[in-house]
Structure 1
């Protein structure tokens, strides 16, 4: 009898909810119902782990394993800037890391929705409003730039709830009250949207209208309208952090946008976004926007769709070669387009399947060298400089394998793997750790390269 393969899961830990998702046999992603799960939301995030993504991810994974056993594969939805705090749970398979934009766009691509060459992913979550400009190139999705608004006091989406509860004279951080607010808001979603629409048209007639109650306190249209301003103002601040997206959405050349996250459930907030950037791309298949990231990550975990987060362009270095006894300047390709993966293995320069051996300085090893890094777009002559790395003297004409890797946070490193034997002759240099030189974030939009100095390295 064949033992069925362990399922693949995705975990997304937000300020409000811990969400674990998997795919059904037909490929449809779904939330895993764990003890204490709120339908359509996930496990409420305990106050003790809010703001600590590593602890929240560990808790969500532990709850899943207690209920369902150890999964075969795990994808964690983690922003690049927080990947230094990954959970070290001994029972977790080595996780695959994915940020929200790539997870959301994986969901769109799986549903057959055409992705424009440029797209804005607007993540409107409890803690922050984050707008990411993405570019599609060579089958990969590259993050071009990110703008984020994250107020330190109440967060972003959570600030709406805090404003409603405070305005009604209720505690803003009481779990039972927050749960009741969530249930009441879900039950009265259409009534809330109608009230906000009428407030925008005729506030004098609608302000005093009681829309619903929470813990015995009346929530009026005016109170909801004032709370909504916390969301619209925060969204404007995030959008203003991306020059070029301020124009009205009536311009057909505007970059398309998709809105996800819990606050993206608000029709009033989406109307405000439409006024800035035009009608957002619909979340596919009626998917709850709060679940779009974890559902996309579940599809990646299950192998239904590629994450498309590999670097889409080629990385090369300027080199000096000696051919037939004559020095010549040229380029050495290190990594072809689509081979560098965040958190993945180092890609080394190869020729005919063999790693290239390079020397970083003169044969006597007395001087170092400035190495210029280039990025070239696939199938074009467009190029962009990616920085200059100063390689120190290596001594005795030592040779190296030359490579590049992307760290989990998306920043690049130039890698030199020593070859030959150490000066003392006691062990091969290949057993020594490689040297790494930071390159920062590689360019996402290669532009025509400027004429180079023939004496460049």
Structure 2
């Protein structure tokens, strides 16, 4: 009898809910029904670990393993720049990390939703409001991590819930009360929408509707005035996130604007989406009416199950300017290190190669004096467009020293130029004959976030004070 393969799962450790998802046989993503799961939400996050991503991931994974066994594949949803992984105990497959924008876009691509060349992913979660710029190039998506928004007291959506509950004397740390608040909102969505429409369209008459009771939570009446106050907090937080984008401070939809996708629990609020529409135009609909709070974990589950590629490899090529001596004459050239679509976040360093062999370079004059400023370029896939990605000062090495030059991409989206010393006299085996010697320690130079959409370099030739490595 053939043992069925272990299931593939994805985990999104939200501030309010821990969401574990998988795909059915037909490829449809769904939440895993674990003990204590709230239908359509996930496992409630205990108050004592809210905001602790590692603890939340560990709890979600442990709960799944105890009731469903070891998964075969594991994808973790993490915000750009926040790549926490739960401590391993020897009983976890090596997790793949996927940031929220790539997970959401995987969901759309799997459904066949047309994706623009450039777009924005607006994550309106419980912890913060964030807007990430994305560039889709040849099947890969490059992202520019958003500047973190200043957190309100208790987060973003969570802070808004706190205002509602404390406004009527209830505790925002009571899981049962939070669940009841969510259910009441869902059951009275139309009533809330009408009340907010009246108050926002006629602000001079807002006071007339402020005392209207919209719903109850734990026996306490929630009024339109309180909900309207919370909407103001959410729109202010969204405006702050949008204001960090180039041109994001404009106040009106523009057909030429970059398309936007809205996800996260707060994106359920139609009044907040109308505010977003007024700023950037109507968001792209999620496939099959997907709950925006589940979009990221559903997309990650599709990746975990092998239904769609994560498209998180860097889509452009990375090169450095070098000097070569040919027939006794110096020549300025460009050395391609990483071809388009080869750099993977958290993956291995990619080294420059020629004819299947790593290229060896010198970093300084033969006498070892002075350093060299090496210009790093990003060349847009499929075009001749190049953009500077930075200049690094490489210290000199001894006469005859050679290096392999490479580049790597960290899980937070930042890149590093890598120089791996090449020991041409290194034997193939350890003198004892049972193991290879350790490789010399590489030298790394931070490059920051690589351009998502390279713009033409107005100065294709290296400036006079910028030298290249020598091959």
Instruction: Provide the residue aligned with 2:447 in structure 1.
Output: 439
Between the aligned partners of 1:234 and 1:411, the Cα distance in structure 2 is: 26
Q: Distance in 2 between matches of 1:41 and 1:359?
A: 56
CA distance in 2, matches of 1:197, 1:370: 59
**2:387 is aligned with 1:384:** yes
Residue equivalent to 2:302: 299
Distance, in Å, in 1 between the alignment partners of 2:147 and 2:242 is: 7
Q: What CA distance in whole angstroms lies between the structure 2 residues aligned with 1:245 and 1:81?
A: 21
Higher mean alpha-carbon deviation, 266-275 vs 81-90, is at 81-90
Secondary structure of 2:456's match? coil
Matching of residues 19-418 of structure 1 within 5 Å:
19-83=19-83, 86-144=86-144, 146-201=146-201, 202-418=205-421
Deviation at 1:289, TM superposition (A): 0.2
Superposed displacement of residue 6, structure 1: 0.9
When the two structures are superposed, what TM-score results if normalisation uses the length of structure 1? 0.95
2: CA distance, partners of 1:453 / 1:209 = 68
Give the Cα separation in 2 of the matches to 1:68 and 1:140: 33
The RMSD of aligned alpha carbons is: 2.2
Q: Which residue of 2 aligns with 1:3?
A: 3
Moved more, 103-112 or 74-83: 74-83
| Structure 2 residue runs without a partner (length 5+) | none
How far off is 1:445 after superposition?
A: 2.8
Q: Is the 8 A contact 1:418 1:429 kept in 2?
A: no
Cα distance in 1 for residues equivalent to 2:224 and 2:370: 73
Deviation at 1:422, TM superposition (A): 7.2
TM-score normalised by length of structure 2: 0.92
3-state SS, counterpart of residue 165 of structure 2? helix
434, 443, 467: which is aligned to 1:456?
467
Deviations 1:319-353 (A, max 9, x none): 11121232211111100111101101111111122
1:204 deviates by 4.3
The count of residues paired between Structure 1 and Structure 2 equals 457
Bigger shift: 88-97 or 269-278?
Answer: 88-97
Distance 1:3 1:322 in 2: 61
> 2:53·2:84 contact (CA, 8 Å) conserved in 1?
no
Shift of 1:434: 2.1
Matched residues in 2 for 1:429 and 1:70: separation? 36
- Pairwise CA distance, 1:192: 2.0
Moved more, 182-191 or 409-418: 182-191
Q: CA deviation at 1:366?
A: 4.4
Kept in 2, the 8 Å contact 1:131–1:148? The answer is no
SS in structure 1 of the partner of residue 296 of structure 2? helix
1:420 and 2:423 correspond: yes
Give the C-alpha shift of residue 185 in structure 1.
2.0
Give the SS at the match of 2:192.
Answer: helix
Q: Conserved in 2, the CA contact under 8 Å of 1:245 and 1:255?
A: no
Q: What's the CA shift for 1:264?
A: 0.3
8 Å CA contact retained: 1:57, 1:87: no
Where 1:81 maps in the other structure, the secondary structure is coil
Question: Any conservation in 1 of the 2:407–2:418 contact (CA below 8 Å)?
Answer: yes
Distance 1:103 1:89 in 2: 26
Is the partner of 2:225 in helix, strand or coil?
helix
1:76 touches 1:95 (CA, 8 Å); kept in 2? yes
Partners of 1:310 and 1:316 lie apart in 2 by 16
Of 384-393 and 422-431, deviating more is 422-431
Q: Comparing 110-119 with 76-85, which one deviates more in the overlay?
A: 76-85
SS in 2 for 1:237: helix
Q: 2:19, 2:87 → 1: CA distance?
A: 16
Question: How many angstroms apart in 1 are the aligned matches of 2:44 and 2:296?
Answer: 17
